[in-house]
Amino acid sequence: MRIKNDVEKEDYKILIVDDEQGIIDSLTIFLNKYHCTGMTNPIEAIELLKKEHFDLLILDFLMTPIHGDKVVEEIRSFNKNLYILLLTGHKDLAPPLETIKKLDIQGYCEKSDKFDQILLLIESGLKSVEQLRIIEDINEKLADAYSSLKEAYTGTIETLRLAVDAKDSYTAGHSDRVAYYSKLIGMKLNLSDEDLETLYDGALFHDIGKIGIPDSVLKKVTPLSDDEYHDIQNHPSIGVHILLPAKIFNDLIPIVNYHHERYDGKGYPAKLAGEDIPYLARIVSVADAFDAMTSDRSYRPRFTLIKALSELENGKGTQFDPDIVDAFLIVMKESRSQIERDLDIHFDMRKVDQDLYT
């Protein structure tokens, strides 16, 4: 039996673990095309595998102080991908098939004076390792391509988002502040890092659809007509239409589409109520409302901090999720000074209605 001659010795690393040094020496001779390491102590072999990379493990089953199945069980606790070929010199004492499957042992062979079958299994195993390398390389290249595509598309969307801010000087920086507040709320609610990232990005792009709303409507200082208000209500759907072609933004779409829903079901566009509203959209709704109230608009001056917090409190259970409002009130109480520094703003603290802040 011959191993492929075009495989260089340094291409693959094989670890041979057997309590018979003669078996290790014989296999090492037959496998001289590869870089082989032999060990007679299975405990030391486990520790070596924690420190070094090997492509294939040839493992004896009956050893001391632990058998091969226990060795594999320990290895699988920290290495799921290592290709393992299990050998036994005692057929009657071999592990059951269920154990071999459970431990994801890829190959099994009985020892004999002839190494043909073992070498065939080793060659087959290394072919599998080679295929895995190819797959990993392809996945890495795809990941790089995906990252580049996402970066390019994100840059395009970011340009649109900044264009929205540029349409109206009164709302400049609004999306950045909403994203900032949303993340603070999410952290207070102990969201996962993945959800926090989705929340932040969704908040950044929540108003992207306003790029399709006429300036005459966005900047109007007098009350909107029914048709104009209908135009405003279309901006979530426009935002979804912008993001939908790129699957990389699928997780942001519920935020963009539903951040104007109300907890009592009287919002838009779908009139969702309560917990039917996506959770992250409910968070952005509170952050969005707060920043709108504490910013100057073409049709009214900004609210004081106390009045804005009072409005959030009054909207619990009707416009807003009560738990999210409570979390934001705590955030403002604990971190107002830091928020003012981070955003380079100063909240008007004049007392209006009740003093919720203190």
Q: How far apart are CA 7 and CA 34, in angstroms?
A: 8
Strand partners, 297: 300
Known catalytic membership, residue 210: yes
Alpha carbon distances (Å) from 152 to 160, 256, 281: 13, 20, 25
Of 51, 210, 247, 351, the active-site residue reads 210
Q: Are 57 and 85 in contact (CB under 8 A)?
A: yes
Calpha distance 55→36 (Å, rounded): 10
Q: What are the CB-based long-range contacts (under 8 Å, 24+) for 47-51?
A: 48/15, 49/15, 49/75, 49/78, 49/79, 49/82, 50/78
3-state DSSP percent of the chain in helix, strand and coil, to 5: 60, 10, 35
- Nearest CA among 178, 23, 161 for reference residue 85: 23
- Residues designated catalytic: 210
